[in-house]
Amino acid sequence: MQVHTVATAPFTDQKPGTSGLRKRVPVFQQAHYLENFVQSIFDTIAAPPNATLVLGGDSRYYNREAIQTILKMAAANGFGRVLVGRGGILSTPAASCLIRKYRTHGGIILYASHNPGGPEGDFGIKYNTANGGPAPEKITDAIFAQSRLIAQYRIAEAADVELDRTGEYRIGGMTVSVMDPVADYAGLMESLFDFAAIRELFKGGFRVRFDAMHAVTGPYAREILVNRLAAPADSMMNAVPLPDFGGGHPDPNLTYAHELVEVLYGKDAPDFGAASDGDGDRNMILGRHFFVTPSDSLAILAANAHLVPGYRQGLAGIARSMPTSAAADRVARALGIPCYETPTGWKFFGNLMDAGKVTLCGEESFGTGSDHIREKDGLWAVLFWLNILAVRKQSVETIVLEHWARFGRNVYTRHDYEDIPAEAADGVMKLLHDSFAELQGAQFGPLQVKLCDDFSYADPVDGSISTGQGVRILFTDGSRIIFRLSGTGTGGATLRIYLESFESDVAKHHLDAQYLLATLTGIALQISELHKRTGRDRPTVIT
Half-sphere exposure of 415 (CA within 13 A, CB side): 21
3-state secondary structure 462-478: CCCEECCCCEEEEECCC
Q: Is 126 helix (H, G, I), strand (E, B) or coil?
A: strand
Find the angle CA(348)-CA(352)-CA(356) to the nearest 5 degrees. 160
User: Coil, helix or strand for 395?
Assistant: coil
Q: Which ranges constitute the DSSP H helices of 77-215?
A: 92-101, 137-147, 183-192, 195-203
Q: Is 113 a catalytic residue?
A: yes
Q: Report which residue type is found at 181.
A: P
One of 91, 96, 113, 295 is an active-site residue; which one? 113
* Length of the chain as a residue count: 543
Burial class for 12, CB neighbours closer than 10 Å (0-12, 13-18, 19+):
exposed
Separation between Cα atoms, residue 11 and residue 5, nearest integer Å: 18
**Alpha-carbon 274 to chain mean position:** 15
Q: Which among 85, 10, 459, 421 has a CA at the least distance from the CA of 241?
A: 85
- The 3-state secondary structure of 275-337, one letter per residue: EECCCCCCEEEEECCEEECHHHHHHHHHHCHHHCHHHCCCCCCEEEECCCCCHHHHHHHHHCC
- First vs last Cα of the chain: how many Å apart? 53
Contact between residue 261 and residue 234 where contact means Cβ atoms under 8 Å apart:
no
Q: Tell the burial category of 137 from Cβ atoms under 10 Å away from its Cβ (0-12, 13-18, 19+).
A: middle
Q: Are 382 and 341 in contact (CB under 8 A)?
A: no
- The Cα 385–Cα 131 span in angstroms is 26
Task: Evaluate the CA torsion angle 122, 85, 257, 521 in order and state its sign.
Answer: negative
* Half-sphere exposure in the Cβ direction for 130 (13 Å, CA): 9
C-alpha to C-alpha distance for 258 and 263, rounded to whole angstroms: 9
In SS3 terms, 65-78 reads as HHHHHHHHHHHHCC
The catalytic site residues sit at 113
